[in-house]
Amino acid sequence: MSLPAESLPGAAEHSDHGSLAGKRIVLGVTGGIAAYKAVEVCRRLVDAGAHVVPVMTAGAEHFIGRTTLSALASEPVQTSLWNEASPIPHTRLGQTADLILVVPATARLLGAYAAGLSTDLLTNTLLATRAPVVVCPAMHTEMWEHPAVQANIATLRRRGVHIVEPESGRLAGGDSGAGRLAAPDVIVGAVRQVLSGAWRGLHVVVSAGGTREPIDAVRVIANRSSGKQGYAIAAEAAARGARVTLVSTVDLPVPSGVAVHAVETAAQMQAALEALAPTAEVVVMAAAVADFRPVAAAEGKIKKDQGVPQILLEPTPDILAGLGDRKPAGQVLVGFAAETSDLLANATSKLQRKRLDLVVANDVSAPGVGFQHDTNAVTLLRADGSVHAVALADKRSIARAVLDTVDEIRASGTEHPTPSIN
């Protein structure tokens, strides 16, 4: 899935043309206020060369008219099981589609699809296809977060349905929160990703959170990393069809389809990553690993009345450098550089010293950037020398930018060469 065109390398509309030209896409539109955005999605798909067959539910007609969508699509809108030229329109639509896309997907549509209910032409078509399906939920925050909706989403994911999760932002009622339909270019990017199949079958390993090095039984040396960016990358990789293993030090909701390996210290993270990385096509080291740890941790709690303890520190292993030294041929290795000054110089040095293919650099002293925030702004530096800045955005959008750049590296074969062994 791709970022807005302004902030993504190579994300101009014409970049979709190669993967969408000639593809037959059934565009389902349901009855939510975000239905008006389906018109723009339709236009972008057609401009990219796709043959778009629109299907509207009765609810959708309360928000947009058939004439508008019919004028922009490749065929007139279809709405009924009974009024179309074909006696079995859902079977024809399902069997001839290269992909079915639902924009927006309401809570009602998600529930019916998860339960296997064929209540109208769109749900019948969804049940009568073996083509990949992409659904784009949009609803108010309380509805999106309701356990029943989340259970339906989880069910659909398990069945292989691709979910373009809603964004956070201003909603129809005037308040803000999660549930806003993803941007049209993000949706079209998701369609392109699914049809290309670039991530299916890949093993992606992601680390997240800050390590905690024990001082005594209750105190640790730690950092401010929340793990949110690593979790967003894991969720995005899973949404693209990859098999994802997340090595994590934090307790956040686990993205659907992601396996978690819980660790706490740098040594534990090193052991986990060294075991997992050799089988991965992509490794993203988003965790913030402590640079130092106590040489020896006290067995019990150090009491204040015992005086100020003298804590002798030693460096922790450089996990990322070790992964770079042992990187298998063809693997893309991504590191992060959280800096407060000399961002590009420090990130470039890390890229070169640790034999990385991509560094995601951010200035964590800037407002809204990095640790603890739900937003981030990064600069992507590749081993081939290219540099691309991504403006402040939510961390899932940053994840899309990172993985789209990984796509470019894999497609171009410009990953850092594997070191020779003498």
Backbone φ and ψ for 66, nearest 5 degrees, come out as -60, -35
Q: 419 vs 115, 144, 326, 415, 422, CA distance in Å?
A: 52, 47, 8, 12, 10
Distance separating alpha carbons of residues 171 and 31, to the nearest angstrom:
16
pLDDT at 417 (0 to 100): 59
The contacts of residue 271 (CB under 8 Å, 6+ apart) are none
My answer on whether omega of the bond before 89 falls inside 30° of 0, hence cis, is no
Q: Helix, strand, or coil here: 394?
A: strand
Structure tokens at 53: 């067959």
Domains assigned to the chain: 13-196 (3.40.50.1950), 203-412 (3.40.50.10300)
Residue 352 host element (H or E):
helix 343-353
Quick one: residue 234, left, alpha or beta (phi over 0 = left, psi -120 to 50 = alpha)? Answer: alpha
The contacts of residue 276 (CB under 8 Å, 6+ apart) are 205, 245, 247, 261
Describe the crossing of helices 107-115 and 147-158 by its angle, rounded to 10 degrees.
50
pLDDT at 418 (0 to 100): 55
pLDDT at 19 (0 to 100): 66
- Which segments of the chain have a pLDDT < 70? 1-19, 83-88, 414, 416-422
Q: Using an 8 Å Cβ cutoff, are 52 and 46 in contact? A: yes
Distance separating alpha carbons of residues 71 and 403, to the nearest angstrom:
35
pLDDT at 89 (0 to 100): 74
Structure tokens at 129: 């296809």
Distance separating alpha carbons of residues 95 and 141, to the nearest angstrom:
35
Give the catalytic positions in this structure. Answer: 223
Quick one: residue 344, left, alpha or beta (phi over 0 = left, psi -120 to 50 = alpha)? Answer: alpha
Structure tokens at 178: 């999660």
Q: Helix, strand, or coil here: 14?
A: helix
pLDDT at 271 (0 to 100): 98
Query: What burial class does residue 146 get, using C-beta atoms within 10 Å of its C-beta: 0-12 exposed, 13-18 middle, 19+ buried?
Result: middle
pLDDT at 5 (0 to 100): 32
pLDDT at 102 (0 to 100): 98
